Structure 1
């Protein structure tokens, strides 16, 4: 079984030994940093925390053809191959330049020392990197979060791009919300159609029962474009809809209490009805089969009792609300309560 190298130096020595034995192999040269032929370098873009910017790859390739110097890329050895850990755009640019006929000894490479989390922190913090966009940063934070790093631990190891200090745990928490966004919303942020902070607010609104965040973002973008702007702003967010408070629920116990209080009106109301009936019988005799016309009566009622009666009638006109304990008339639809929440547990 062929010996497996675990570092660039070991691979360099292994290839050098094969070359001495007469094998037709390419070797790795060392000039302070190792210089590795691009044929030995494997690039897996999906391991990078940011999407590959092909315009940048093109610019780097042209610069390499001019002889411009680039910093060493960070690598590790897998299966006797060099695998990029940091410096994806430089590695892809070198491959492109060689493919287009440029002759170069290779790329400067350095052994990466650390685990997968250290690799993410390196990509987030390296001064030699392209700027990390908000979505890529959010997804990188999520990878670290899934490795059981706390928000504070992530913040402590991620400095601000201007070198003004560390980030905060609150910043990490907000970015983890952005990481939960649907891909369509993330692409809108990357395309500059809407700000990351706005999408975060839309996700918060959705968790509270508001509109779906992608639909809300698209509506804001449409509003901005209608006004001749290419990017949605917070002012494009529609005003929150105010819900009409539900009418007080009428309870049997409450009805009985009011009826007992209003029973004092019974004698005066009955007297008014009796007087009306007597007057109607005396004035004209209703013919059999004909409806007796309804008339209005004037009745004297204390103001306090009238107010109580009106309040009771208003409650009877309100839509029936299901009982809180699940025993009310609206309980037939109680299964809907399990489908109303849009909130998902945070990863």
Structure 2
């Protein structure tokens, strides 16, 4: 089949594109290669993909309405995996309009492209951040998600609403995946694993928010990719008889699923795993919770398991060792 993968130079997008290429699909990847973080890292990810004869890269911004429309018309994709977005909860406090352009306008251009070109299935990235101030654990797709605490989270909730509208009005099958703290080799420099590893190796102080008591459902990249690749093959169906009014499903060919490790750990434990992998003890500065953050995330993944027969399984010490090994190799330290 022919796939469009947006955010192909990004962390998750590059791994998904690689997996699809290895399965002999034709993949067109787009990315705007912005400088939110080091563009050299994005280019290095792309270099791995450019080794595949069945991969084509197009530099394109999601907000370029004409460019996106022409891309869809010229390629006639079978399926679309939409992973491009302006990422980062904390950055959204400082630069909210970047999230409007990328995450709202960008989602609209992708939905329009899928609608007008008979795309079989749109799989898109949502986020555990949509659960906001929810205190019930684990987070379930049936939980109401009306109290986001960052604009980033609000845009992801908006993406789910937009997708449902297109599924309902135009019969476009859509699956939203609420990712839970993805980590692993080639990860983003603004995420905790990278920040902590970089600082510990350089013997610099790391900032530990909420005094290390935050809980996160850290999910290894290989598990995320397997979940995405499996779910894109399970297309939601319209079901007029479905009386279910919960937020994650309904009568339209639409669904939202959690994808997480289903095993949250304390930030302190996560830091200890990095210290062990590096062989150094971190210098820590304990700080209160930051605006836009939540104390804990924990994924109920029963619906994902029912849909694809898969449960993330990578243990934290193994995943962290893989990340640290990659970091040392990539940066020659």
> TM-score surpassing 0.5?
no
TM-score range with shorter-chain normalisation? under 0.3
The structure with higher relative contact order (CA 8 Å, sep 6+) is: 2
Counting helix residues as a fraction of each chain, which structure ranks higher? 1
TM-score computed with the length of structure 2 as normaliser: 0.22
TM-score computed with the length of structure 1 as normaliser: 0.22
Radius of gyration: which is bigger?
Answer: 1
